[in-house]
Copies of this chain bind each other. A is one copy, B any other.
Amino acid sequence: MIADCAVYEEGQRRAGDLPLEEACEASQKDGAFVWLGVIAPSAEEFDAIAREFDLHELAVEDAIKAHQRPKVELYGETLLVVLKSARYVDSEEVIETGEILLFVNPAFIISVRHGEASALAAVRKRVEERGDLLRSGPAAVLYAILDRVVDDYEAAAQGVEDDIQEVEQQVFSPERINPAERIYKLEREVLDFHRAVAPLAQAVDQLARGHFQLIPAALHEYLRDVHDHLLRVSSRITGFRDLLTSALHATLTQVSVRQNEDMRKITAWVAILAVPTMMAGIYGMNFKYMPELGWKFGYPAALGVILVVCALLYRRFKRAGWL
């Protein structure tokens, strides 16, 4: 589906939507370029676009299948940038990833979006307000999209961090919650997230260092800024993995400690209960000559002794912290 298709000239959007062919033609003009936004295109839809803009066979395949690794690649004059977009769905503790492919050329930028995350309409609006950047051509749009996607990474990372803090509290809470499954699932999400973010850093570094003529020098500092944010997110995510591994180990320790506490509590009670059973057994013996049995207050005395011994035991266990 084509979301939006506009021609930008001298940092301004030319009024009105254009059909594909006219846009392509308009983009040939000096100082003008087209931004074509496409969402989850079908093979036929994208074939038409590819033919119009003369895109490379392999790049087109990538655009439709959408399971690429983040990368920057030059096909002839056209740069293909593949990004993973990410957003944190707190209710399911899941990072939902999408994919954005950008075909960038002096004359056009085609953005192909798969998945919900990082809607580009907002980016377009923001970019159109900054004529100074737009004058740098399609690369400025590339920067704006990268900036947005990386900002969304940070939001997703924050979501994960909040959940990790919740999990930490569960691990060490006196309540008997078993956070193992939650920790494991967060670990899996973090792994996927890492796979989305880490390769992009390298790609953006190439863009920022001026490996591609397409990127005007004025944008290098902006892209370096994006690169920096990526490194920060990336190191946070690496930290998450270490934390979650430790949290899983700590959970195991906590479970063992609790088991030990339970065992001692249980045993203390068993010991307290064993005393009356034993004493009652002794006075249940059938010897003929057991003087206590004939005493008037033998029975209450026996009960009393039992109670006292149990109370002493109870106090002792209490003091030792077993109860």
CB-nearest residue of chain B to A245 = B246
Q: Which residue of B71, B257, B287 contacts A180 across the interface (Cβ within 8 Å)? A: B257
A262 touches B263 (CB 8 A): yes
Q: What distance in Å separates the Cβ of A35 from its nearest Cβ neighbour in chain B? A: 23
Surface stretch bound by B, among A45-53, A91-99, A295-303:
A295-303
Q: Which residue of B195, B262, B287, B296 contacts A299 across the interface (Cβ within 8 Å)? A: B287
* Chain A positions 207 through 228: 1 when the CB is less than 8 Å from some CB of chain B, otherwise 0: 0000000000000011011001
Q: What distance in Å separates the Cβ of A105 from its nearest Cβ neighbour in chain B? A: 16
Copies in the complex: 5
* Chain A positions 224 through 262: 1 when the CB is less than 8 Å from some CB of chain B, otherwise 0: 110010011001100101110111111111111111101
Q: Which residue of B67, B69, B71, B260 contacts A259 across the interface (Cβ within 8 Å)? A: B260
> Size of chain A's interface in residues, with CB distance under 8 A?
89
B180 touches A250 (CB 8 A): yes
B288 touches A298 (CB 8 A): yes
A63-98, CB < 8 A from B: 67-69, 71, 73, 75
A262 touches B262 (CB 8 A): no
Cβ of A281 under 8 Å from chain B: yes
With A180-B257, A298-B289 known as contacts, the answer to whether A246 contacts B248 (CB < 8 A) is yes
Q: What distance in Å separates the Cβ of A50 from its nearest Cβ neighbour in chain B? A: 15
A287 touches B293 (CB 8 A): yes
B191 touches A242 (CB 8 A): yes
B58 touches A222 (CB 8 A): yes
Q: What distance in Å separates the Cβ of A290 from its nearest Cβ neighbour in chain B? A: 5
B273 touches A276 (CB 8 A): no
A69 touches B255 (CB 8 A): no
Q: How far is the CA of A275 from the CA of B278 in the complex (A)?
A: 9
B262 touches A255 (CB 8 A): no
Residues of chain B lying within 8 A (CB to CB) of residue A122: none
Q: What distance in Å separates the Cβ of A169 from its nearest Cβ neighbour in chain B? A: 10
Surface stretch bound by B, among A7-15, A22-30, A109-117, A170-178:
A170-178
Cβ of A274 under 8 Å from chain B: yes
Cβ of A19 under 8 Å from chain B: no
A289 touches B281 (CB 8 A): no
Residues of chain B lying within 8 A (CB to CB) of residue A191: 239, 242-243
* Chain A positions 148 through 192: 1 when the CB is less than 8 Å from some CB of chain B, otherwise 0: 000000000000000000001001100010101101100110011
Q: How far is the CA of A284 from the CA of B293 in the complex (A)?
A: 12
Residues of chain B lying within 8 A (CB to CB) of residue A286: 283-286, 290, 293
Residues of chain B lying within 8 A (CB to CB) of residue A184: 168, 171-172, 246-247, 250
Known interface pairs A176-B321, A285-B286; 20 further A-B residue pairs with C-beta atoms within 8 A, sorted by A's residue number: A68-B232, A73-B224, A171-B181, A172-B180, A178-B253, A195-B235, A199-B231, A245-B246, A259-B259, A260-B262, A262-B263, A262-B267, A274-B277, A276-B282, A277-B277, A282-B306, A283-B285, A287-B292, A287-B299, A288-B295
Closest 3 CB pairs of A and B: A280-B281, A283-B285, A287-B299
